Chains A and B, each alone.
Chain A
Amino acid sequence: MSVDFRKDIFAKERDDNLNEIGKPTRRQDILGHVTGRSPFFDDHRFDGLLHIKCVRSPHHHARIRAIDTTRAETMPGVVRIIRGSDVPVNLNTLLSLLDFGKDDEPVLAESKVAYMGEPVLAIVAQSEAQAHEAVAAVRIDYEVLPHVLDVEEAIKPGAAVVNETYPGNKFEFYGGNDHQKLRFGDVAPAFARADHIVEGRYQMAPIEQAPIEPNGAIAAPQTNDRYVCYTSTQGLFFSLGTVAKLLNVESNRLHFIGGTVGGGFGGKVDSLCEPLAILGAMLTGRAVRYVLDRAEEMQVSAPRSAELWYVKDGLAADGRIIARQLTGYFDSGAYTRLTGYGVVKCIGHLPGPYTIPNVHSDAYCVYTNRTPATAMRGFGVTAVDFAIERQMDKGARALGMDPFEFRLINAYRDGDMKAHRRLAGNCALIESIQAAAERVDYPLGAEFRAMTSMSGGGGERALIPPTRTERLGMLPAGTSTVEVKTTAPGLVPQFGVDLPVPATGLPAPSPTPTPVPAPKAPETRATTYDYGASGLSAPPAPKEVPPATEPAALTKSQPGPVTPKPRYSRYSSLGNRRR
């Protein structure tokens, strides 16, 4: 099997004497795969292996009044029943290790359950069958609470509070913002002068990764006071760090072995099984295996989040999109997992691969009483792409244009300024559309066949337009904004403010007070999103700092110097690992 390279496209940009690319090569691990000897986590055997099965919530949302394990405890084979109170640190958020989000999810629910299938107890037994039987013998007295399963219902006043850490049912991004913004140009006047307005509402369902190998882990005590854990995780160190935090043990006492993963697709980063398998091994002194069965895999292992999008386009009669407004709601389910991060990724992807001079977008990570959502193949990007591309088809229809040609007119060219203030380079949408059309004998007009990504971009299209923001009003052309939490301790408030900066560079941290506009109202705490410049963000405020709306915060001195650290680069590298 070889790859067909089009030599006529981007010929000048490519060196053709490649040694590996385009040539078949054998995978290093494939001999193990075809002989069935690749060591998946479940291919490790231990004497006296114990098995975990969880007691799970039958309700979307309920308070736990009482748990009765009397009968289960005396059932054959039951070795230990683990409760939330047995978990040393029973609250976490997956990206807390990267300083993103607040701890909001227990390993085992203690006071309430927030989604159907949420684990409440883990039963450790000598066989899986015995664990199942003991699970069925547990009695839990629930007070059923009102639930909410729809993102728009969840953010209405008076909606059931899904997640007490975020009482408004919305994730808080840096600076306490309840959504992520993208502002580029000014959409309102552009809509006013547009020849056509096209609007759409798009709903994408959650998608289960469904790897053939389920999530699982086997943990065993070692003689050197360490615990070995064979795991299906997609991120060994990520999972190790998560367990070290939850179980309050030094990470060097945990020895994770994995890397042979029977399909992941994002569904094996949540570290669902490792904490309980290792805790089980600690509490029993035996090897413990915790594997989701297929029903659990479908019901409680996290899918890609559902997304709801509203898209409004302003179109000129000649086929140009002159304004696009997007509002999106990600359904995070009951807890954050990786959906907040998915929203950040999404904002960096908008408004799709098209050069649009006026863009306005708000994206929310919303909590509902559904299964928590997480990573899944291009999460944050693929679902909104569906919305955008359906919207493109709608736009073409409104204009009476061919949908391919409408896309070709608006596609990024090299040198164009993207709405998130990066110059587009190595664009290939035009060439991809042309190649696809050719393959299926789709007739494109001569001028469209002649288009190329390498011309027509740059110049005026490379400029950042004057941009309207809620907080600062109109920013002059060529400026961007940067979220600054701390430049010099004690001098600048510890919460996010917008500073206009030249697009060519970031302001140097200044030892003198930087004049910053005071926040006007709570909603204006929202900062203008800038993907690249946010590297200047400082660590979040310590908990004792008063909320940003209190003017006292402006003058309150802050403890010790804080070194601004690059943040997005770290998230990006995490995202790149997750495929």
Chain B
Amino acid sequence: MMVKKPLEFRLNGTEVAVFADEAENLLSVLRAKVGDLTPKYGCGQGGCGACMVTIDGRTVLSCITLAETVAGADVGTLAGLSGERLDPLQEAFMDGFAAQCGYCTPGMIVAARALLQHNPTPDRDQIIEAISDNICRCTGYEPIIEAIQSVVAQERAGGS
């Protein structure tokens, strides 16, 4: 009999409680137990970034994060980004053709939002560094970088 452990955390600001399997990873809990399908399985080895989420504002690869380590923490996914309106990053990704197959997109946007949270005015190199854990196979890095830059420019213009 497999041991299941109760686990409580906040997902995009809402309390959730699940029973996690022994050694179950956070990606599996989010997708199979909670039903948040925005983080994707790409490699299961922490190599591609498709499963990227935030824990207390810091990006992590959920496929190699033990679920039990998020007890009591704030977990953020792409699903938490847009409410009634899309996040400016989502708008910019749409305008700039920064998604092709769409599979790496949730992780990319989570990485970009976390960057802007900590540094609202990153330069190009800092943007590249921030998405360097995220692999895109449809070779869309340049439009992705440009989309993030356009949001930086927008927010800078709006803020001044």
Using a CB–CB cutoff of 8 Å, the interface residues on chain A facing chain B are 1, 24, 26-27, 29-38, 40, 42-43, 45, 76, 127, 129, 210-214, 260-265, 291, 293-294
Contacts of B109 in A (CB 8 A): 34
Contacts of A32 in B (CB 8 A): 102
B17 at the binding interface (Cβ < 8 Å): no
Q: Is B101 in contact with A261, judged by CB distance below 8 angstroms?
A: yes
Q: Is A34 in contact with B86, judged by CB distance below 8 angstroms?
A: yes
B82 at the binding interface (Cβ < 8 Å): yes
* Nearest CB of chain A from residue B63's CB, rounded to whole Å: 10
Contacts of A38 in B (CB 8 A): 102
Q: Is B41 in contact with A42, judged by CB distance below 8 angstroms?
A: yes
Q: Is A293 in contact with B44, judged by CB distance below 8 angstroms?
A: yes
B79 at the binding interface (Cβ < 8 Å): yes
B50 at the binding interface (Cβ < 8 Å): yes
**A26-B95, A36-B106 given. 19 additional CB < 8 A pairs?**
A1-B143, A27-B94, A30-B102, A31-B94, A34-B86, A34-B94, A34-B99, A34-B105, A35-B90, A36-B105, A40-B40, A40-B103, A43-B37, A127-B21, A210-B137, A212-B103, A212-B135, A265-B137, A294-B44
B119 at the binding interface (Cβ < 8 Å): no
Contacts of B45 in A (CB 8 A): 294
Question: Which of A1, A265, A293 is close to B96, meaning CB atoms less than 8 Å apart?
Answer: A1
Q: Is A211 in contact with B90, judged by CB distance below 8 angstroms?
A: no
- Assembly CA distance A127 to B102 (angstroms): 27
Question: Which of A37, A76, A263, A293 is close to B137, meaning CB atoms less than 8 Å apart?
Answer: A263
Q: Is B94 in contact with A26, judged by CB distance below 8 angstroms?
A: yes
* Nearest CB of chain B from residue A53's CB, rounded to whole Å: 13
Q: Is B96 in contact with A29, judged by CB distance below 8 angstroms?
A: no
Q: List 24 A-B contacts (CB under 8 A).
A: A1-B96, A1-B143, A32-B102, A34-B89, A34-B94, A34-B105, A34-B109, A35-B38, A36-B79, A36-B106, A40-B40, A40-B103, A76-B2, A127-B21, A211-B103, A212-B42, A212-B50, A212-B101, A212-B104, A214-B41, A261-B101, A293-B44, A294-B44, A294-B45
Count of chain B residues near A, Cβ 8 A: 42
- Assembly CA distance A263 to B43 (angstroms): 14
- Assembly CA distance A356 to B109 (angstroms): 51
Contacts of A24 in B (CB 8 A): 97
Contacts of A293 in B (CB 8 A): 44
Instruction: Closest A residue to B134 by CB, please name it.
Output: A212
Q: Is B90 in contact with A294, judged by CB distance below 8 angstroms?
A: no
* Nearest CB of chain A from residue B23's CB, rounded to whole Å: 8
B131 at the binding interface (Cβ < 8 Å): no
Q: Is B146 in contact with A36, judged by CB distance below 8 angstroms?
A: no
Q: Is A30 in contact with B93, judged by CB distance below 8 angstroms?
A: yes
* Nearest CB of chain A from residue B4's CB, rounded to whole Å: 12
Q: Is B41 in contact with A29, judged by CB distance below 8 angstroms?
A: no
Q: Is A294 in contact with B42, judged by CB distance below 8 angstroms?
A: yes
Contacts of B77 in A (CB 8 A): 36
Instruction: Closest A residue to B39 by CB, please name it.
Output: A36
B35 at the binding interface (Cβ < 8 Å): yes
Contacts of A294 in B (CB 8 A): 42-45, 47
Q: Is A213 in contact with B99, judged by CB distance below 8 angstroms?
A: no
B138 at the binding interface (Cβ < 8 Å): yes
Contacts of A42 in B (CB 8 A): 40-41
B48 at the binding interface (Cβ < 8 Å): yes
- Assembly CA distance A39 to B98 (angstroms): 18
- Assembly CA distance A211 to B102 (angstroms): 11
**Chain B contacts with A in 135-160, Cβ cutoff 8 A:** 135-138, 143, 146
- Assembly CA distance A427 to B135 (angstroms): 36
